[in-house]
A and B are shown apart, each in its own frame.
Chain A
């Protein structure tokens, strides 16, 4: 009688998944002890890119909304952190009265604009890092998901958003320092002490692990089921009494919030943010990680971001044409391995029978 309902989801404690993540966590936690500073920093950055991929996967792989605007939310979080750190530095150096950063001075500003000034405070900056991207995403989501717009038109809108915001940030030099972005900023401190690289690395690792576990838990819940149904046939779900728009807005906003935190940590780590991360090409990178790693799998996109990033690091020392290789890989995956490279790894769970059945039908 134990297997009366073979189709039901097991929401008992996910021992296997937890074990895997736990082992991974330990391995990566001691990783910096064996590798140099460069690798530690690179790895931490790739973790953040990985969470960006997981966040997009929630929206695209599970819900079916393909967006090129993931970099926008990442950057909004990043800029929030960067302003805070920049003001920190400017306040320390008293060359410019009132703690005004040098690019603002050279662009003719005499005092901090009201909409940036609050970021001088650490708590406000931290909240803004999440709420600005999430709030912006909520507004957009509310605007577009309550209409009959769907599919490729959402994707085109995401292209337009990325393009428009990129133009905005590049052009508003006095406020954003244009294409140069915000660099030369203070390191992130905790209780007055500078956080060492390894500390930042661990923060990134913990954040990534939390996002992975949270996303896993979310997709295994009823919400995950509803999101997958929306992806397959959204009209039908509404006849079952679900307000599709609210689900889409929720996951879209959540995804943007995660991206924002990733952006903030990225700035703390790299001491730099620029409109490059807003523009379409970076948003495309995230799409590529998810596509190659495997839509609808959480580990796949995370692994793809990390592994491709590592390979890229070495490949670019040998060849100028790494992007060409990525393009070919993307083409191969889309044409022949639609579920991503992770689908090539054989599963030994009870899913195999149903999967092979559906494949043969």
Chain B
């Protein structure tokens, strides 16, 4: 079986510093993968490299059997890879509705955009997304007026509207209350039934809630891989985390 996304020996450098030093990663169709690791382990950089936000120095990224290494970001997005950033990267000056409309899957050409109309299909899709993220009431509000947690939801909503095959989520619950976090966890599980999902997460409660396969990154390399149980019992992981992170290893 070929995987949806296959990362081989990936290296990313900043000023000679190797942020990623030979990472391998395979993600199957509709698989849910959780990535954890201490600060500076290269988690966000891995996602950045996949969507071409950071240039890849060495290695290969294949998506659906085709190489996408260092393609322009918009082309990668069009292939069906959606990315949520660590800090909510949404449009403050646009309304929630407009943010979703912008992200909506469809033809992205200049002339298509001039003549595109708000079809029934689009309206329904946005209505559905608004319900999923619980912001139906705020559809006409400028995002600037929303809370931090709500902005996270808007960006998750943008991913939903984009409807990619592969969803990359970078700490989707940062700044959320425990209730919001739990709800997000449920949404992620729901998503993984239809999409492949990669989640970077710090919150171990959430990891335990959603994780099937967990990958631990450390100093730009894969340290361990397995179920939550495996990871919690892994000696090396304990060593890396011990006394340095808020991870609850005994639980």
| Contact A7-B144, Cβ < 8 Å, known A240-B158, A243-B74 | no
Query: Would A243 and B108 count as touching, CB distance under 8 A?
Result: yes
Minimum C-beta distance from B49 to chain A (A): 13
Q: Are B145 and A4 in contact (CB under 8 A)?
A: no
The answer to whether B93 touches A354, judged by C-beta atoms less than 8 angstroms apart, is no
Establish whether residues A5 and B141, one from each chain, have CB atoms under 8 Å apart when the complex forms: no
Listed stretches B1-9, B14-22, B112-120, B220-228; interface member: B112-120
In contact, B95 and A354 (Cβ under 8 angstroms) = yes
Q: Is the CB of A233 within 8 A of B91?
A: yes
Which residues of chain A come closer than 8 Å to B203, judged between CB atoms?
A: none
**B94 lies within 8 A of A225 (CB):** yes
> Is the C-beta of B127 less than 8 angstroms from some C-beta in chain A?
yes
Q: Which chain B residue lies CB-closest to A4?
A: B127
**Nearest Cβ on chain B to A360's Cβ, whole angstroms:** 8
- The docked-state distance in angstroms from the alpha carbon of A236 to that of B91 is 9
B81 to A, closest residue via Cβ: A239
Contact between chains at A225 and B98 (CB < 8 Å): yes
Find residues 175-222 in chain B having any chain A CB closer than 8 Å to their own CB. none
Closest to A7 in B: B97
Q: Whole-angstrom distance from the CB of B61 to the nearest CB of chain A?
A: 15
Are the C-beta atoms of B102 and A229 separated by less than 8 Å? Answer: yes
A7 touches B141 (CB 8 A): yes
Cβ contact within 8 Å between A8 and B123 = yes
- Cβ-based interface call for B110 (8 A): yes
A341 contacts B by Cβ under 8 Å: no
Give the residue of A6, A240, A247, A355 whose beta carbon is less than 8 angstroms from that of B103: A240
Q: Does A94 contact B (CB under 8 A)?
A: no
A350 → chain B, closest Cβ, in Å?
8
Question: B102 contacts which of A4, A226, A250 (Cβ < 8 Å)?
Answer: A226
**CB-CB contacts below 8 Å: A216-261 with B:** 218, 221-223, 225-226, 228-229, 232-233, 235-244, 246-247, 250
- Pick from A7, A218, A246, A358 the residue with the most CB of B within 10 Å: A7
Q: Which residues of A contact B103 (CB under 8 A)?
A: 240
A6 to B135 Cα, complex, angstroms: 12
The digit string for B82-125, where 1 denotes a CB below 8 A from any CB of A, is 11010001111111111001110000111001111110000100
- Confirm or deny: B40 has a beta carbon within 8 angstroms of a beta carbon on chain A: no
Q: Which of B92, B96, B108, B117 contacts A7 (CB 8 A)?
A: B96
B134 at interface (Cβ–Cβ under 8 A)? no
B74 touching A244, Cβ below 8 Å: yes
Chain B nearest CB, measured from A179 CB (Å): 39
| Additional A-B contacts beyond A7-B96, A243-B72, A246-B110 (16; CB < 8 A) | A6-B97, A6-B140, A7-B95, A7-B140, A8-B101, A8-B123, A8-B126, A9-B98, A9-B118, A11-B118, A222-B113, A229-B91, A239-B77, A241-B74, A241-B77, A243-B74
Question: Could you list some 12 contacts between A and B, CB below 8 A?
Answer: A4-B127, A6-B97, A222-B101, A222-B113, A222-B116, A225-B102, A229-B91, A232-B93, A235-B53, A236-B89, A241-B77, A243-B74
**B interface list, Cβ under 8 A from A:** 51, 53, 72-74, 77-78, 82-83, 85, 89-98, 101-103, 108-110, 113-118, 123, 126-127, 130, 136, 139-142, 144-145, 158, 162
